[in-house]
Amino acid sequence: MSVVRSVVTGVGAYLPPQIVTNEDLSKIVDTSDEWIIERTGIRQRHKAADDQAVSDLAVEAARQALERAGKSPADVDLIIVATTTPDLTFPATAAIVQRKLGAGVGIAFDVQAVCSGFVYALSVADGFIARGNAKCALVIGAEAMTRLMDWTDRGTCVLFGDGAGAVVLEPGEGQGTTADRGMLGFALRADGTKQDLLYVDGGPSTTGTVGKLRMLGNQVFKHAVINISEAIHAAAEKAGVTVPEVDWFIPHQANQRILQGVANRCGIDEDKVISTVALHANTSAASIPLAFAHGVADGRIKPGDLLLLEAMGGGLTWGACVLRL
């Protein structure tokens, strides 16, 4: 039976030019290169310039994704930006991206699920395409997480970086089998009772400020490995595949130990894991599309490959997606 699938036809990425190394951070906070690498696997991160907004990062990634898909901004009828660091309280960063790209009138809005935002946004875009309400969607994860850092807190400020990644989604005809290109299965979760484990202590209706990121790292680690593993198996089951069938595992780049813990728990071969955490640190909603673009650019990820994406972020939110490129 013929079905409509949301197919990734282009992938793009953008990282700000400024690189902040662990050694750089050791000059402003009580930490060291060895301490950071041992606990996180992070060696450096990128930092947006003072005059760079999240929309600027998103636009650069979007342009690359469109070029690789053979599309122009005029073709785009849906823009979804996953971000927890928007340009403004409103309008949506997606609308600003629409204007800066020069895209025509269409649908544009943001998704806020913190680090899980890109997976959530893919699911939302998939719904628009599957019902015929969009023909060319830009799904973007873009963050300036360094703007939320308390630079006196060595437990958090060393973990995050800035960047953006994007994919173009277009409808493709499938036969309803696991051999189809496109989105095959999702599993999305949230548990608001775990808010205190990872949050920002400010907001328009509470403090009237942006706030700073706060985290109980050990608790987040424990929940991440257990919860993400469950979502991975649930997404694979919905897709009709088994986890060992996956060609590439593209996890949220939070911490190398979390990546390894999830891979081990799910029986995923280490050689199948796309890891960019050492170079990018945690870029929240941008981390999966950045890693996706990295794997495509270096030739590992190829058309026809079965991909597994997963993330967990504040909320707590988490989720997984299985797709065939």
Active site (annotated) includes residue 266: no
Question: Which amino acid, residue 28?
Answer: I
227, 266, 282, 321: the active-site residue: 282
- How many Cβ atoms sit within 10 Å of the Cβ of residue 165? 34
Amino acid identity for residue 302 in this structure: K
Active site includes 282?
Answer: yes
Among 22, 157, 227, 252, the one annotated catalytic: 252
User: What stretches of 58-133 adopt beta strand conformation (E)?
Assistant: 78-82, 107-111
Among 115, 136, 157, 266, the one annotated catalytic = 115
Cα–Cα dist 320/5, whole Å = 17
**CB 238, CB 186: distance < 8 Å:** yes
What letter would DSSP give residue 160?
B
Q: Would you list the DSSP string of 263-325?
A: HHHHT--GGGB---HHHH-B-GGGHHHHHHHHHHHTT-S-TT-EEEEEEEETTTEEEEEEEE-
Residue 132's φ and ψ, nearest 5 degrees, are: 80, 15
Strands 306-313 and 317-324, by their bridges, are antiparallel
Token match 């919860």: residue? 227
Question: Is the distance from CB of 43 to CB of 19 less than 8 angstroms?
Answer: no
Catalytic, 157? Answer: no
**Residues designated catalytic:** 115, 252, 282
